[in-house]
Homo-oligomer: A and B are copies of this chain.
Amino acid sequence: MEELKQRILNEGQVLSDSILKVDSFLNHQIDPTLMYHIGQEFARRFAGEKITKILTVESSGIAVALMTGLALNTPVVFAKKKKATTMDSEVYLGRVYSYTRRESVYIVVAKKYLSSKDRVLIIDDFLATGEAAQGMLQIVEQAGAELVGVGIAIEKAFQKGGKILRKKNIRVETLVEVNNLSSGHIEL
Contacts and interface: CB of A to CB of B under 8 A. Distances in A.
Given A58-B58, A110-B23, A31 B75 contact: yes
B113 A32 contact: no
Contacts of A63: 62, 66, 76
A143 interface: no
Contact of A76 (B23, B30, B58, B75): B30
Q: How large is the interface on A (under 10, 10 to 19, 20 to 34, 35 or more residues)?
A: 20 to 34
A149 interface: no
Interface in A43-89: 58-59, 62-63, 66-67, 69-70, 73-78, 80
A7 interface: no
Contact of A32 (B25, B32, B70, B110): B70
A24 interface: yes
A154 to B, nearest CB: 18
Contacts of A74: 32
Given A58-B59, A110-B23, A75 B28 contact: no
Contacts of A33: 70, 73
A7 to B, nearest CB: 12
Nearest to A24: B113
A36 interface: yes
A176 interface: no
A153 interface: no
A113 B29 contact: yes
A28 B23 CA distance: 23
Interface string A10-54: 000000000000011100111111011000000000000000000
Contacts of A36: 70
Contacts of A59: 58-59, 62, 78, 80
